[in-house]
């Protein structure tokens, strides 16, 4: 179990803190508005009313003992930046900060924040990708244009041999595993025969994964 602090309990901050709690972590929620604290007080490990632009108030929260601090103050640029400056002064290392605009992002990165989150853009990208590739359940960028994708095998692929599905891309696209019902198959042999509702996890260059898409629908 890890310990996290979330500053700003709007829709984004409250979702992060509730999900971390559900995952079994200890969460401190901080907000300057009593109504947001009252709403979550009995759901989080600790909930504190404090102004995050006040360095003394932040110092009293003993934030150095947390594994990471999330700053989820979006709209109020000044409050977000002041809060980040104070957290940096206090020596907080693991800092995740929500940004609401490009200038906000630029300032945060100049302040040395390495984890800058753009929830709307990131979610928008995910929705567009899901609409573009409806056969892809989940994907994860691994960097260097390599992706990990989870694909649900549709009925028309029942009985297809894996190597026939991957064809020319099989040297560059790796089959990480297949999930069939509750069983995981790994490593996956080339002659593996696919069944409807198998969940295929593939990794490889985006261009190769894209070229597979027409065979999957």
Residues that bind ligand ATP (CB under 6 A): 7-13, 31-33, 36, 51-53, 72-76, 79
Compare residues 119 and 205 and give the one whose CB is closer to ligand ATP: 119
Find all residues with CB under 8 Å of 93, minimum gap 6, and list them. none
Compare residues 120 and 158 and give the one whose CB is closer to ligand ATP: 120
Q: How far is the CB of 35 from ligand ATP (least distance, A)?
A: 8
CB 28 within 8 A of CB 3: yes
Q: How far is the CB of 185 from ligand ATP (least distance, A)?
A: 40
Q: How far is the CB of 21 from ligand ATP (least distance, A)?
A: 17
Q: How far is the CB of 118 from ligand ATP (least distance, A)?
A: 12
Torsion of the alpha carbons at 43, 49, 54 and 60, rounded to the nearest 10: -70
Q: Which residue number places its CB atom closest to ligand ATP? A: 10
Residue 8 has phi, psi (to 5 degrees) of 100, 110
Q: DSSP class of residue 198?
A: -
Compare residues 126 and 210 and give the one whose CB is closer to ligand ATP: 126
- Return the residue matching tokens 């401190």: 28
- Return the residue matching tokens 């500053």: 7
> Among 170, 173, 129, 171, which residue's Cα sits nearest to residue 148?
173
Compare residues 9 and 92 and give the one whose CB is closer to ligand ATP: 9
CB 25 within 8 A of CB 3: yes
Compare residues 13 and 204 and give the one whose CB is closer to ligand ATP: 13
| Number of other residues whose CB lies within 10 A of the CB of residue 102 | 9
Q: How far is the CB of 16 from ligand ATP (least distance, A)?
A: 9
């Amino acid at each position: 179990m890890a310990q996290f602090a979330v500053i700003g309990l709007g829709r984004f901050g409250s979702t992060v803190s509730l999900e971390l709690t559900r995952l079994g972590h200890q969460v401190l929620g901080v907000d300057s508005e009593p109504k947001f604290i009252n709403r979550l007080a009995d759901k989080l490990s600790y909930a504190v009313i404090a102004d995050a632009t006040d360095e003394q108030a932040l110092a009293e929260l003993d934030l150095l003992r947390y594994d990471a601090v999330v700053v989820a103050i979006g709209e109020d640029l000044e409050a977000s930046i002041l809060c980040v400056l104070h957290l940096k002064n206090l020596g907080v290392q693991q800092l995740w900060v929500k940004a609401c605009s490009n200038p906000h992002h630029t300032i945060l990165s100049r302040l040395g924040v390495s984890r800058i989150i753009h929830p709307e853009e990131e979610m928008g990208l995910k929705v567009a990708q899901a609409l573009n590739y409806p056969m892809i359940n989940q994907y994860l960028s691994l960097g260097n244009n390599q992706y990990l994708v989870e694909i649900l095998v549709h009925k028309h692929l029942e009985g297809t041999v894996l190597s026939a599905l991957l064809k020319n891309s099989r040297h560059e696209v790796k089959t990480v595993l297949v999930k069939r019902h509750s069983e995981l198959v790994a490593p996956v042999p080339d002659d593996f025969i696919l069944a409807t509702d198998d969940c295929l996890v593939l990794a490889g260059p985006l261009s190769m994964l894209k070229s597979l898409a027409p065979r999957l629908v």
